[in-house]
Amino acid sequence: MLLGLEDKVVVITGAAKGMGPAVARAFAGEKCRIAAAGRDMDAIGDLAAQLRAGGAEVLAIACDVTKDRDCFAMAEQVAGQFGRIDILVNIAGGTGPVGVTSWATSQAEFDQIVQLNLTGCFNTMRAVMPGMIDRRYGKIINVGGTFGMRGRAGRMAYSASKWGLRGVTKPAALEAGPFNVNVNCVAPGMVDGPRFRTKVIPDIMKKKGLTEDEAVESLASEYALRRISTDVDVANACLFLASDASRQITGVDLPIDGGWAML
């Protein structure tokens, strides 16, 4: 695609799981220098090896985004290795309870997913933004979700975490804008992948008495484009918001959902 991102330094949290590898490969294809951060260093190491085999410069970092000390240490390590951080893509997150009512959700379940999906992004943003502000350049892309825009029955804890992430993103965009730092959200709808197939689809199958294919089709029928998003769709949106093609876009929630949240 070549969006003028060559040699930009991008930190990707949750790089080895879910849609993370597709996003990492997309930035590697743009010739970025990549810091792949996550808790599972075996998975991070495998991803880093794959990217390096394709010619990318990659730093693999252990980081638990729920721990602010890890996030500040990560930012220091990346700056020490690459000299700066140009782009932060916050992917690290989880699904929380699926098919569970609000009143059946435990405090522990609620706290866990909010800590991961919301506080984790808050921690990494705090760690990288001072450097971006000093250099008068930066792009932050938080991966939210359309259930944080319309809500979803049976997904209250997850929806709360993603709704809250919008509340973190918009004030940060206002505060950082005068320093030429863009802060945006991409909001994927359902994204086909392991979590989708092992958590979301089985819940639909059980509730509606459908086969796997029928459950996928049932969800796709809710979208204007009648198809489920892929990790590559999300990766392409991240590339756009990280590039100067989007220089005048900040504080937005960009749904990647085939037409559901905004229609």
> Same domain, yes or no, for 31 and 57?
yes
> Same domain, yes or no, for 223 and 125?
no
Q: How far apart are CA 77 and CA 135, in angstroms?
A: 18
The predicted pLDDT at position 127 comes to 98
User: Which one-letter amino acid corresponds to residue 194?
Assistant: P
Say whether pLDDT at 30 is over 80: yes
> Same domain, yes or no, for 159 and 38?
yes
CA distances from 185 to 2, 58, 95, 236, 238 (A): 22, 24, 17, 13, 9
Measuring CA to CA, which residue among 228, 244, 234 is closest to residue 3? 244
Select which of 110, 147, 158, 223 is catalytic: 158
Classify residue 261: in a domain, yes or no.
no
| 137 tagged catalytic | no
Q: Specify the residue for token string 């802060």.
A: 183
Q: How far apart are CA 21 and CA 31, in angstroms?
A: 15
The percent of residues above 90 in pLDDT, for the chain, comes to 94
Classify residue 165: in a domain, yes or no.
yes
Q: How far apart are CA 32 and CA 78, in angstroms?
A: 13
> Same domain, yes or no, for 215 and 123?
no
Q: How far apart are CA 41 and CA 27, in angstroms?
A: 20
The predicted pLDDT at position 154 comes to 93
- pTM score, two decimals? 0.95
Classify residue 3: in a domain, yes or no.
no
Say whether pLDDT at 68 is over 90: yes
Tell me the pLDDT tens digit for each residue of 225-240. Answer: 999 999 999 999 999 9
**Residues of the domain holding 221:** 192-228
Tell me the pLDDT tens digit for each residue of 139-174. Answer: 999 999 999 999 899 999 999 999 999 999 999 999
> Same domain, yes or no, for 134 and 209?
no
Q: How many domains does the chain have?
A: 2
Tell me the pLDDT tens digit for each residue of 96-113. Answer: 999 999 999 999 999 999
Classify residue 68: in a domain, yes or no.
yes
User: Is the Cα dihedral 152, 140, 4, 63 positive or negative?
Assistant: negative
**Rama region for 99: left / alpha / beta (φ>0; ψ in -120 to 50; rest):** left
Quickly state the pLDDT bin for 2 (edges 50, 70, 90). Answer: confident
Sheet holding 138-143, edge to edge: 57-62, 33-38, 9-13, 87-90, 138-143, 181-188, 253-256
